[in-house]
Amino acid sequence: MKLEGIRSFLFLLILSQFVNLGFICHVQATPTRLLTSHVPGAIKELGLKPIGRLPAGQRLSVVIGLPMRNQAAFQQLLDQIYDPASPEYHHYLTPDEITDRFGPTETDYDTVIAFAKTNGLRIAGTHRGRTILTVDGTIADIEHAFHVRMLVYQHPIEARTFYAPDSEPSVNLSVPLLHVSGLNNFILPRPGGSPGSRRAIAGAHSGGGSGPGGAYIGQDYRAAYVPGTSLTGSGQSVGLLELDGYYTNDILSYEQASGLPNVVITNVLVDGSTGTPDSNGNWVGEVSLDMEMVISMAPGISRLIVYEAPNSSTTWVDILTQMQEDNAAKQLSSSWLFLYDDANADPIYQKFAMQGQSFYQCSGDDLAFYKTVGQWTDDPNVTLVGGTELATAADGSWRSETVWNNGDGLHGSGGGVSGSYMGNFTIPTWQTGINMTNNGGSTTKRNVPDVSMVAYNAWVAWDNGSTGWWWGTSIAAPLWAGFTALANQQAIAEGEPTLGFLNPALYAIGTGPLYSSCFHDVTTGNNTNSHSASLYYAVPGYDLCTGWGSPSGVNLINVLTQTPIVYDPVRNAANGSITLSSLCVPGSTNVVFAATNLAPPVMWQPISTNVASSAGAWQYADTNATNYKTRFYRIVNYLPGR
């Protein structure tokens, strides 16, 4: 009996092992997917060695991202939405339409949720777009789920440690993943602006602005950049990404001190934010600064939406997603510096564009990009804003601008080329064709910034009663959001859609005959530092200090809100707005178009004597005798000799 019992026991043991092996084989049949771009490049580049490991019981929040479905079709439609020659031009989609057509399926999203739960991770947040899933868990659970070890390193340039995985993560999951945000904190989100002492700006009258000590405040920004306009942003909402709270009395104090109306403010609290400012006054100040700049440029907006979340390595992803899914503001701005080459962010920026939302990001305050710089803003689906030092005349009108550079070798307008250290974005189509010989830019990689505005001597009220001067490209980005609210007000009034992603239009203007009338071209100054002594310098036209420059009054608004007229000589037809009355040939100065849908009829003439080129955008202007308003139109896809 004992022998028989032993045999039975051995049989059951062997059988159980076969069962276990079968189970293991079944699990391993699920594809093991290797992810990329989670280990900071500085570790390999600088030969950093770990000094420890995160405690197994410590909790960590991460954001799991899923790629868009039908990515090729998604990108094709996005390109068409910003191609004036396409029937899809400015035909925006809603968030739900994007999800239905291009979002991950519900089954895939549920599979990722089940994967997280199976690995001991708590579901902290889901999104209806199904591309983002926020989870948290212990370090032990994180390491098990993604097959990594979470190591600790001494930061190479900051007085702190940072954590990162020892290798690229992998998952046993049938559904493809895009990225896992939060697996390292090499870059901590921080505000782009800072309070500082004021200095005189060459060429400015007694300081420049009407605020204390000549600081710029309130109406000064409109007087310099959109003098005489009646546009105030009426009917528009502006959204701000913020990683701290603010004091309402500071905003009221600023409005009263600068003679601005009280703007309606809506707070959207994300990831458990209470809206209460933390103890760091500078972070509180960034929120106030952003709000006050928008109100200064667009004092008549219907609503200022402040999206607030606690400052961490992942909350900014949730704010971006909330902004996109709300679709409540058509102009958005961020003055916070975070991990821009995070792959989870790019699809959100693309959705902004597909929905007709303009998103502005400050280009950073650390001068020319260099290895280990604390920020590297280069995503091609974002309008990146550099900074200038502004000089105004006695009446407050624009006089001149130069590149913002504090002269300390540390702070000034951020700019550079993608792929030099972080990110690896190829040059977008709208940025090709620019002569980069003199500006130090790249003909194969994304160049930054795109545009600029003043980034020095701004008067700010913050931190429950503090006031003073601030500098930073974080001044310029919300000013551009406010400026876009003015343009969108005009577009809507004329029956046009909102402007959406501005870069294709901005670069078409920059390379066209209207550039000098639409932009203040910044041609003096530099953003060089000890890491890049020869890069970069301001030059005529586009440069990597200030982009195309700053807006020159309502001229830029008029051009941005133009109605594109697409004429193809092969089809010998326009889009219904005009009829061709004489042949359009390169170099012609007598091209005349007769508008058939306006009363009274108006004639269309070239805006200059040298409007033509062998291809590309031709721009024309008309004067309507009814309202005496000049509007600008362009003809694209001209085919010589056809």
pLDDT of residue 627 exceeding 60, the answer is no
Spatial distance between the Cα atoms of 404 and 396, rounded to a whole number of angstroms: 19
First to last CA, the chain: 100
Instruction: Determine what percent of the chain is predicted with pLDDT higher than 70.
Output: 79
Per-residue pLDDT at 419: 76
pLDDT digits (tens, 9 = 90+) for 484-526: 999 999 999 988 999 999 999 999 889 888 899 999 999 999 9
Per-residue pLDDT at 499: 97
Which is it for strands 519-520 and 466-471: parallel, antiparallel or unpaired?
Answer: unpaired
Output the pTM of the full model. Answer: 0.86
Per-residue pLDDT at 622: 43
- Residues 221-243: what's their mean pLDDT? 98
Spatial distance between the Cα atoms of 23 and 182, rounded to a whole number of angstroms: 32
CB 287 within 8 A of CB 295: no
Q: Partners of 451 in the beta sheet? A: 385
- Residues 16-44: what's their mean pLDDT? 66
What mean pLDDT is reported for the chain? 84
Own/partner pairs for 158-165, CB < 8 Å, 24+ apart? 158/374, 161/51, 161/52, 162/40, 162/186, 163/54, 164/38, 164/39, 164/40, 164/43, 165/38, 165/39
Bond from prior residue into 536 cis (ω within 30 degrees of 0): yes
Per-residue pLDDT at 564: 58
Per-residue pLDDT at 514: 85
CB 137 within 8 A of CB 123: no
The single residue listed with the structure tokens 């409109």 is: 222
- Residues 536-564: what's their mean pLDDT? 93
CB 554 within 8 A of CB 630: no
- Residues 219-239: what's their mean pLDDT? 98
CB 549 within 8 A of CB 480: no
pLDDT digits (tens, 9 = 90+) for 412-426: 999 999 975 556 899
Split at pLDDT 50, 70, 90, the class of 264 is very high
- Residues 520-538: what's their mean pLDDT? 94
- Residues 230-236: what's their mean pLDDT? 98
Split at pLDDT 50, 70, 90, the class of 604 is very low
Per-residue pLDDT at 278: 84
Task: Select the more confidently predicted residue: 574 or 628.
Answer: 574
Per-residue pLDDT at 87: 84
Helix/strand/coil for 529: strand
Of 21-30, 437-446, 493-502, give the lowest mean pLDDT range: 21-30
Using only C-alpha atoms, the chain has a radius of gyration, in whole angstroms, of: 27
Per-residue pLDDT at 260: 98
pLDDT digits (tens, 9 = 90+) for 322-333: 999 999 999 999
Angstrom distances, CA of residue 591 to CA of 65, 127, 538, 614, 618? 52, 53, 36, 15, 11
Instruction: Indicate the burial class of 507 (C-beta count within 10 angstroms; 0-12, 13-18, 19 or more).
Output: buried
* Torsion from C-alpha of 359, 362, 368, 372, nearest 10 degrees: -90
Spatial distance between the Cα atoms of 298 and 234, rounded to a whole number of angstroms: 8
pLDDT digits (tens, 9 = 90+) for 158-196: 899 999 999 999 999 999 999 999 999 988 888 888 898
pLDDT of residue 5 exceeding 60, the answer is no
Which is it for strands 170-172 and 32-34: parallel, antiparallel or unpaired?
Answer: antiparallel
Per-residue pLDDT at 281: 60
Helix/strand/coil for 174: coil
pLDDT of residue 15 exceeding 90, the answer is no
Helix/strand/coil for 430: helix
Which residues touch 322 (CB under 8 Å, ≥6 apart)?
A: 268, 270, 307
Q: Hey, what are 587's tokens?
A: 């170099």
Angular region, 502: left φ>0, alpha ψ -120 to 50, beta rest: alpha
Split at pLDDT 50, 70, 90, the class of 476 is very high
Instruction: Indicate the burial class of 560 (C-beta count within 10 angstroms; 0-12, 13-18, 19 or more).
Output: buried
Split at pLDDT 50, 70, 90, the class of 373 is low
Q: Hey, what are 257's tokens?
A: 């001190």
